[in-house]
Amino acid sequence: MAGMTLVIAHRGASGYLPEHTLEAYRLAIAQGADFIEPDLVPTRDGVLIARHENELSDSTDVAEHPAFAGRRTRKRIDGIEREGWFAEDFTWAEIRQLRARERLPALRPQSAAHDGRYRIPSFAEVVALARESRRVGVYPETKHPTWFEIEGTQLDGTRIGLDTGALLLDTLLAQDFTDPARVFIQSFEVGNLLRLAREQMPARGLRLPLVQLLGDIGPAAAGALARPWDLAFRAARGGDTDAAYPGLGDAVGRPPAEMTYADLASAAGLRWLAGHVAAVGPWKENLLSSRRLDRPAGSAHPWQRGARLHPLLAQARSLGLGVHPYTLRAEAAFLNREADGRGLSMEEEIALLVAAGATGFFTDQPDRGAAWVAAGTISPAAPPR
C-alpha cells in the first residue's frame, strides 16, 4: 500500500451501522477501506473485545439485562469519573449475551434501526474477518493500557492486571496475521508503544508499525485530552519518568512528567517519536481549525490554495512519519466551515489534509473516503526536502 492514501474505517463503517460490530467491519471492507479499526478492551477473563470504551452502556444493551443490574458501578478511568457497566467485570461468555446499539441515535437513525441485532465481537473474530478478505488490514487501538495493567480494579476490588499490548500481539500470532503491511498498532499513551517497540515485539519476533495518537494539541487544550495519561499517572505516583521515557525530556527540553500532546507534536517531540513509531494520528480539528483560505477565481480546487494548516503535517512528513488524522465524518455537525460561513464537505476536508501531507485518514464513511482516493483528485504530498 506504499504511496497510497490509506482509508481507515473508523470503528468499521460506523456512519451506517452500529460501531465495532462484525457487520460494520464487513460493510467497510465491501466499501473499499484499506484498514478496519477495532478499539480494544479486555474482559475479566482476558479476551480482547472491540469496544470504544470499557464502559458498555453507551454502545450495548447491557442496561436491559436484569441479571447484570448489580454490576453497575462507578470507576475513575484516566482521571475521569464514569458510571455504568465495565467490560473488565464481565466474562467473554457474558459479553456474548449483549447486543450492540448505535451510540449517536439522534444523528444516525438509519444505524439505530439496527439496535439489538448484532453482538459484540472479539478481536480474534475481527482479525479472522480481515484475514478472510485477503486484502484489508487491521488498525487496533489499545484503550487505557495503564488502567488495565496497573491502576484499575474489577468490581470486587481485584486488580485487573491485564497487559493489553501483550494480549493484542498474542492474538495476532494465534491468528497468523503478522504481515506489517496489514497491521498498525495505535495508542494515545506513550509508554505502551515504547514497550511494544523495545520489548514485546522483539521478544515475539515481530516488527509491526506503531502509531502515536495525539490528543488536543491546540493552545487551549486542557484536562484529559491535553496530555498522555501514562505520563500523568507516573508523575502523580512519583515514578522516574526520565527513566521510563528515555531521551524524551532531553529531546523536548521539558520533564516528561510535565509533557503535553502539544510537546509531542512539536518538531523536537516528533523527532523523538520517529525513533519508534511509523506514524502519528492527530485530531483533524487541530489541523483544520482557525484557518484562512484564499479562493482564486477559476481554481478547480480552491480549498487547496493558501490553507494555513498546522505545521505538524510538514514536520512529521519531513521525518518520514505517516500522518493519519482522525476522524473524517460526513454529517454537518462534524464539518468545518469557511470564514464566510460556507460548510466544507468531508471530501474537501480530506483534500485539504492530503494536500498538506496526510498519508491516510480515519473516516466513519469509508465508501466516500475510498471514492475520493479512487478519483485520484490529489496525490499525497511528498515529504519536504
Q: What is the pLDDT of residue 210?
A: 98
- Condensed to tens digits (0 to 9), the pLDDT of residues 300-327 reads 333 332 345 789 999 999 999 999 999 9
What average pLDDT does the segment 372-381 reach? 70
The three-class DSSP label of residue 248 is helix
Lowest-confidence region among 9-23, 236-250, 283-297, 324-338: 283-297
Q: What is the pLDDT of residue 310?
A: 87
Q: What is the pLDDT of residue 53?
A: 98
Q: What is the pLDDT of residue 289?
A: 72
**Better pLDDT: 383 or 157:** 157
The radius of gyration of the chain's CA atoms, rounded to the nearest angstrom, is 20
pLDDT category at 343 given cuts 50, 70, 90 is confident
What CATH code would you report for 6-375?
Answer: 3.20.20.190
What secondary structure does DSSP assign to 160-213, as a single string? ----HHHHHHHHHHHTT---GGGB-EEES-SHHHHHIIIIIHHHTT----EEEE
CA–CA dist 161, 172 (Å, integer): 20
CA–CA dist 97, 99 (Å, integer): 7
Domain coordinates in residue numbering, the chain: 6-375
Answer yes or no: are the C-beta atoms of 134 and 38 closer than 8 Å.
no
How much is the pTM?
0.93
CA–CA dist 71, 89 (Å, integer): 7
- Condensed to tens digits (0 to 9), the pLDDT of residues 56-115 reads 999 999 999 999 999 999 999 999 999 999 999 999 999 999 999 999 999 999 999 999
Residue 385 has pLDDT above 50, yes or no: no
pLDDT category at 339 given cuts 50, 70, 90 is low
Answer yes or no: are the C-beta atoms of 310 and 286 closer than 8 Å.
yes
